[in-house]
Amino acid sequence: MATIRSFIKFWALGVFALYGWLRLKITRSPTLIILTYHRVLPKNAPEREFEQPGMIVSPENLKQHIRLIRSIGAVPMHLDEWLRKKKALESLPSLSVAFTFDDGWRDNYLHAFPILRQEKVPATVFLVTEMVNTEDTFWPEQVIQLLRTSSTDLNDPVLGWLRPYLDELANKSTPFSLLEADKVISRLKDLDDASILDHLAPCAHSLKAKQNAPSEQSPPILQSHDLVEMAQNNLVKYGAHTRNHFRLNRLNSKAALEQQIVGCLSDLESMKVNSTPIFCYPNGDITGGGEQLVANHYLAACTTKAGWNKLTRSEYDLHRFNLHDGNSSNPRTLLAIIGRSLV
């Protein structure tokens, strides 16, 4: 049975890949493909042991994506440049591609930037502005760190809040596997982000102490000097990904939405980096009030919906393809990702 399933999967992948390739080759009306990345980590990076696999692409894969997408005739372009040309009714290539990186990980500077510079590929990095220049990391990474550290005692009263979310893993002791930690993270999404961070705060100090020797990735989030260097020659621009990476549908007041949406834009402007007023919804979560604020203050917004963007697509509903090592490690799987969303 498993053999039949993998046989069908193999052929379905081939069909989707062929379909994706054909559609990309024959597209005539201007189309924009937006690729989404998060972390860029070498295959042997120790950080991979503490990260959700769906968040990581290797530098080799990133380079392969750039070369493949170019080989089928796509023109790399800044996202805001494509939107500007569209609005001004200027001519656009039949197929353009915009590279985007969410969250502002420092590994983007260490491992993506050299490739972008070498390949002359412009990109937009969506920053979580209150995390820039800090030693902080996001709550899912803190939870993984807790669960993957053998000395963490899950019966410690300070972790009492976490136990209901362990479910069938409640009797297990640390370290958890990445897959197990990933399950706990999914369940924790029932809570709002600020509450999770409040719960984690008392653990943060001991977490830092337990961490291995500081790696080249520390601090984990981009710093001001990285932002300046990447923006040279207009290679990288910076968009908004809220102030604290709070999911907007978990915020229950207009003031909180304004903080995250409008506040993030004013942070970007006062940082005096190469910013562009494009918003990116954390986790893809949208609320009516939030959408209105985004439309009032930004030029465009990126979602987590998969698909390509024709001229008719609303600039506040941009579709993207989320790529990582698990779904696009060779040309066939990358084209299948693009092909599947077109069916």
Contact positions vs Zn ion (CB under 5 A):
102-103, 282
Identify the CA nearest to 184 among candidates 198, 204, 164: 164
Residue 218 C-beta: closest distance to Zn ion, Å: 20
User: Burial letters for 199-222: b for 16+ Cβ neighbours within 10 Å, e otherwise?
Assistant: bbeebbeebeeeeeeeeebeebbb
Token pair 């439309």 in the structure block, residue? 295
Q: In angstroms, rounded to a whole number, what is the distance separating the alpha carbons of residues 220 and 200?
A: 17
Residue 27 or 249 with smaller CB distance to Zn ion? 249
- The kind and range of the H/E element at 334 are helix 331-340
Q: Provide the CB-side half-sphere exposure for 109 (13 A, CA).
A: 24
- Which single residue brings its beta carbon nearest to Zn ion? 102
Residue 131 or 169 with smaller CB distance to Zn ion? 131
Residues in the chain: 343
Cβ neighbour number for residue 310 with a 10 Å cutoff: 12
State whether the Cα torsion 18-121-44-101 is positive or negative. Answer: negative
Contact (Cβ atoms closer than 8 angstroms) between residue 130 and residue 222: no
Q: Cis (ω within 30 of 0) for the bond into 282?
A: no
Token pair 């985004």 in the structure block, residue? 294
